Amino acid sequence: MSETATPETMGFQTEVRQLLQLMIHSLYSNKEIFLRELISNASDAADKLRFESLENAELLEDQPELAIRVEFDAKKGVLTVVDNGIGMSRDELIDNLGTIAKSGTSEFLQQMTGDEKQDTQLIGQFGVGFYSAFIVADKVVVESRRAGLQASEGVRWESAGEGEFTVSPLDKSDRGTTVSLHLKDSESEFADSYRLEALIKKYSDHIGFPVMLLDRAEADAEAKNVNSATALWTRPRADVTGDEYKEFYKHLSHDFADPMSWSHNRVEGKREYTSLLYIPANAPFDLWNRDVPRGLKLYVQRVFIMDDAEQFLPLYLRFVKGVVDSSDLPLNVSRELLQRNSDLDAMRGALTRRVLDMLHKLASGDEYQKFWDQFGQVLKEGFVEDSSNAEKLAKLMRFSTTQGDSGAQDQSLAAYVSRAADDQDKIYYLLADSYAAAKSSPHLEQLHQRNIEVILMYDHIDAWMMEHLKEFDGKELLDVSRGQLSLPDADGEITQSAMNDENKPLLKKMHRTLNERVEAVNVSQRLVDSAACVVAAEQDLTPQLRKMLEAAGQDIPASKPILEINIEHPLVKRLSGETEDQRFEALSNIIMDHALLAEGTALADPASYVQRMNNLLLEIDAS
């Protein structure tokens, strides 16, 4: 190898610079994981080469045996990870190791606090990777040549992990990538045979390629194979330890934390495949970005085919990580072919059920709450996307209810039902914009007084979900802010018109006054302390769903709410006795405005409201 041209200096993308800083500081106490990351990358590179060589066998050149070599030289303080995988061209190297393509990265990095413990967790959500090399090295040299390119098209990359890196051309006869870490003086432990062997065993035993260890300082040392080199999912379940499953997850996901749960299965029969599915402990930072590649890693007969095969699981399970290894898909399967393969539907259905079963098992333990806090919102999408599993999903939901006082979403529908009185045949819920708004909503007053528990929903997606979740355990789910509220009542249900009868003149007058703003004015069965509330007619959209659809740019036809008044309330009594038209009008409007404000709806004409209130306040002052 000889270098000729002078190296070209380039700056890291700002995000890379920030990430490097962070990586070095927040992962220092776990610094040894850099080796897992580098071996993982080497293994991915070998996978990719094997895949490309299916079409183009020449890529294998004279080296068909794929392997990874870890070499060290204690005297020089250098540790090198060598692979004969796919390698990188000059442009790829500059792109891959100089920029981060994930969108939302810079917003994400701004959340970093400087607090090591918190940032470590955040890094976990982002994914560790190549840059972790700089935790232990003050200089990293990457030499690479992409398979299929000429030896003269090799490239050398060097950086001290600060603002910049250099790139220069390189003659490299062997294809693949060599990553050399010039260890910091304090990190000489990583140029030690004993230590490296233990680390490789611990972190990389399950890699499907041999990992060889070589002491360069020893004159004619031979590289020694230190891992078992069998892809983990191909081994029988009984032979794999929990720690091995955890390590494999980290290799797969570049996550820093242990997974919460996993499920490893071999399916035989008409369709044969093995799957290994993981539930992560933490949501990745870009969980809500629907454009982020997601899905399982697909192998066919142990040959890596593609990352992020999204056809095997529905979108609402996008947090699941794992591998599926099929025995009967063709080796040349492409994303397009997967999309058109109707056989896949059955596999997708089975894998979906596996994940839901795994969650059901988790749901009976303490850890489920943690899962729910991380992924519950995504799971709710399932009602819309996958109605065939609605029943299973309903059991996995967790909510706040009027029983709790913290807003924690920790109650299942089953727990709610078990607490309900025998004559309660409905599950009551309320939609609001926030926990605080839900908790103090006037719609709850009557239910409160009767000691009826109500589920409080205030996540964005809830209104949408509730369009699809209509029943649980044979009980109807009922929105307490919509239509006539039917309560379990020994005297039977009173109809709205019967309730209105005695107050017809007041209701009529209010309706006439507020004609532009309300569909009807009714006597309320819901209220105890508040003067009024607005309710949606049975067939109307809830205000939450309306807001959601409007935010998504949909044109929603206007609909007027129903105003319900509390006939016992002093303000309503006062209104009832008001003979002066102008005051009646002002007071009616104020009652209406307050009902809207209480449910968190912005007033269409706030200035008029303020003026009416001011007039009223001045009157008090004058009297």
Considering only 51-59, 128-136, 347-355, 374-382, which stretch makes contact with ligand ADP by CB under 6 A?
A: 128-136
Task: Kindly state the smallest distance separating residue 81's Cβ from ligand ADP, in Å.
Answer: 7
Alpha-carbon torsion angle 249, 255, 260, 266, nearest 10 = -20
Burial code (b: 16+ CB inside 10 Å, e: under 16) for 64-81 equals eebbbbbbbbbeebbbbb
Q: Which residue has the tokens 């898909």?
A: 329
Q: Kindly report the number of other CB atoms within 10 A of residue 490's CB atom.
A: 5
Q: Which is nearer to ligand ADP, 99 or 166 (CB)?
A: 99
Applying CB under 6 A, among 18, 177, 227, 274 the residue interacting with ligand ADP is: 177
Minimum gap (Å) between residue 86 Cβ and ligand ADP: 6
For ligand ADP, the binding residue among 32, 71, 83, 445 (CB under 6 A) is: 83
Give me the least distance between CB of 42 and ligand ADP, in Å please: 5
Tell which one of 145, 206, 254, 517 touches ligand ADP (CB under 6 A): 254
Q: Which residue in 81, 82, 85, 83 sits closest to 49, CA to CA?
A: 85
Residue 177 half-sphere exposure toward CB, CA atoms < 13 A: 29
Q: Give the contacts of 222 (CB within 8 A, at least 6 positions apart).
A: 214
Dist CA 460 CA 547 (whole Å) = 10
- Does position 88 interact with ligand ADP (CB under 6 A)? The reply is yes
Q: What is the DSSP letter of 502?
A: T
Q: How far is the CB of 46 from ligand ADP (least distance, A)?
A: 9
Give φ, ψ of 116 to 5 degrees: -55, -45
Closer residue to ligand ADP (CB): 127 or 169: 127
Selected range binding ligand ADP among 129-137, 147-155, 191-199, 286-294, rule: CB under 6 A: 129-137
Residues 217/219/223/224 CA torsion (nearest 10 deg) = -90
Torsion angle of C-alpha atoms 362, 368, 371, 372, degrees rounded to 10:
120
Residue 181 or 438 with smaller CB distance to ligand ADP: 181
Neighbours of 359 (CB within 10 A): 23
Q: Closest approach of Cβ 127 to ligand ADP, in Å?
A: 5
Would you say 307 or 433 has its CB closer to ligand ADP? 307
Region of 115-123, 124-132, 318-326, 496-504 interacting with ligand ADP (CB under 6 A): 124-132
Distance of closest approach, residue 220 Cβ to ligand ADP, in angstroms:
27
Residue 227 CB, nearest distance to ligand ADP (Å)?
A: 17
Which residues contact residue 149 at a Cβ distance below 8 angstroms, ignoring those fewer than 6 apart? 87, 89, 175
Residue type for position 516: E
Q: Tokens 């920030």 correspond to what residue?
A: 18
Is residue 524 a contact partner of residue 485, using CB atoms and an 8 Å limit? no
Q: Say which amino acid occupies 298.
A: L
Residue 107 near residue 15 (C-beta atoms within 8 A): no
Q: Which of residues 29-58 bind ligand ADP (CB under 6 A)?
A: 37, 41-42, 45
Is the Cβ of residue 83 or residue 386 nearer to ligand ADP in the bound state?
Answer: 83
Nearest to 137 by CA among 254, 27, 250, 24: 24
Q: Which stretch binds ligand ADP (CB under 6 A): 11-19, 85-93, 285-293, 594-602?
A: 85-93
How many residues interact with ligand ADP (rule CB under 6 A)? Answer: 17
Name every residue whose Cβ is closer than 8 Å to that of residue 253 and which is 6 or more positions away in sequence. Answer: 127, 259, 278, 280, 321
Residue 316 within binding range of ligand ADP, rule CB under 6 A = no
The interface with ligand ADP within residues 92-121 (CB under 6 A) comprises 96-97
Q: Name the residue whose CB lies closest to ligand ADP.
A: 129
Nearer to ligand ADP among residue 33 and residue 444 (C-beta):
33
**Residue 284 touching ligand ADP (CB under 6 A):** no
The stretch near ligand ADP (CB under 6 A) out of 52-60, 126-134, 223-231, 425-433 is 126-134
Least Å distance, CB 550 to ligand ADP, is 38
**Rounded CA separation 411/392 (Å):** 16
- CB of 255 or CB of 386, closer to ligand ADP: 255
Does position 66 interact with ligand ADP (CB under 6 A)? The reply is no
Q: Is residue 207 a contact residue for ligand ADP (CB under 6 A)?
A: no
| 212: nearest Cα among 78, 73, 72 | 72
Query: CB 214 → ligand ADP: shortest distance, Å?
Result: 17
Question: Considering the rule CB under 6 A, would residue 127 count as an interface residue with ligand ADP?
Answer: yes
Q: Residue 147 and residue 85: Cα distance in Å, rounded?
A: 8
Closest to ligand ADP by CB, 37 or 325: 37
Q: Which residues bind ligand ADP (CB under 6 A)?
A: 37, 41-42, 45, 83, 85-88, 96-97, 127, 129-131, 177, 254
